[in-house]
Amino acid sequence: MDCSNSNEKIKILSIESSCDETAAAVVENGRTVLSSVVVSQVEEHKLYGGVVPEIASRRHAEAITGVVAEALEQAELSLNDIDAVAVTYAPGLIGALLVGVNFAKGLSYATGLPLVPVHHLRSHIAANYITNPGLKPPFLCLVVSGGHSHIVAVEDYTKMKIIGKTRDDAAGEVFDKVARTMGMQYPGGINLDKIAEKGDENAYTLPRPRVADAPYDFSFSGLKTAAINIIHNASQKGESVNVENLSASFRKAVVGCLVDNFMKAADDFGYTNLVIAGGVSANSLLRRRLEEECGKKNYKLYMPELRLCGDNGAMVGAQAYYEYKNGNTANLDLNAAATMSIELG
């Protein structure tokens, strides 16, 4: 499906509420961001060391009306200028998702605008269409976030196939858990990345787990446990670990697993256009390593701007354009789903 030659200008109002950011944006033709508003709950969830789903849902309900209104105001548009309403409906925290889905359904009902359901991980991939206007499928994408670690063959804008995925914890999840064990504030993965820049990545020896008979799949649970055991064993002996060095060593191990499997999949399946997406695509070592590896092989690497790595409404609007053009709209019985494969989204 190639939508790039269309002369029409489709403006989509998009809503994102899958975790702890309430976001809305207006995006034109999947590539041009006319507005983007994000209200984060990070400071509140820091008090608890992670996202509290009940609190997240309540804050979404409080913020969503203002966020959507501000997105329209920034774009200098009214609902009469909008062609469709899009919303993240899966996967994510079910209560948080329901706030966005029900608000979008209300807008669709009140205005008669088409309702476009968008898969959260597809949105993360689509963030790259905003940063890299020339990017088109097919390409291979490494999707890494707090809840997901996938290698995805993007065959077309709305046709995707999972090549590899984590068998247990996601990369972002283990970054957060190890960071928390070392006493870092939420969001741990971001803080660990910063601290790791000052450490010796060879100071601690950590495993590089592999999945037998599944060379593109990941397994991070054992790696996480190994790092946490180092911390606990030191504590039991009255000793302390070097946080900078352990952060660097752990980051090197996780990123090594991600890069090795991703590059192997690219080689084996013949992809030379590679993309990264999701919150962990902001990790500084992951970006450096992939730039190095793609440079060696003369592969083209596409990365989202740092501001588009986290959850935002613009990425939802980018993917929504292609879902809309492909006829993927929903009725008012649309429901949210806590889990759903990107292949089905």
pLDDT at 251: 98
Distance CA 31, CA 33 (A): 7
Q: What are phi and psi of 88, to 5 degrees?
A: -70, 125
Helices 120-131 and 313-325: crossing angle in degrees, nearest 10, is 100
Please answer whether residues 15 and 303 qualify as being in contact, where contact means their C-beta atoms are separated by less than 8 angstroms. no
pLDDT at 14: 98
pLDDT under 70: residue ranges of the chain: 1-6
Predicted confidence (pLDDT) per residue in 304-335, tens digit: 999 999 999 999 999 999 999 999 999 999 99
Helix (H), strand (E) at residue 64: helix 53-75
Spell out the long-range contacts of 202-211 with Cβ–Cβ below 8 A and sequence spacing 24 or more: 202/249, 202/252, 203/242, 203/245, 203/246, 203/248, 203/249, 204/230, 204/245, 204/246, 204/249, 204/250, 205/249, 206/249, 206/250, 206/253, 207/253, 208/253, 208/256, 208/257, 208/260, 209/257, 211/167
Distance CA 260, CA 202 (A): 18
pLDDT at 3: 61
Domains and CATH numbers, the chain: 11-129+308-325 (3.30.420.40), 138-306 (3.30.420.40)
- What would the DSSP string read from start to end of 301-335? EE---GGGTS--HHHHHHHHHHHHHTT--B-TT--
pLDDT at 6: 55
Q: What is the 3-state secondary structure (H, E, C) of 291-309?
A: HHHHHHHCCEEECCCHHHC
Reported pTM = 0.95
Distance CA 93, CA 51 (A): 10
pLDDT at 236: 95
Distance CA 271, CA 298 (A): 11
Distance CA 30, CA 14 (A): 11
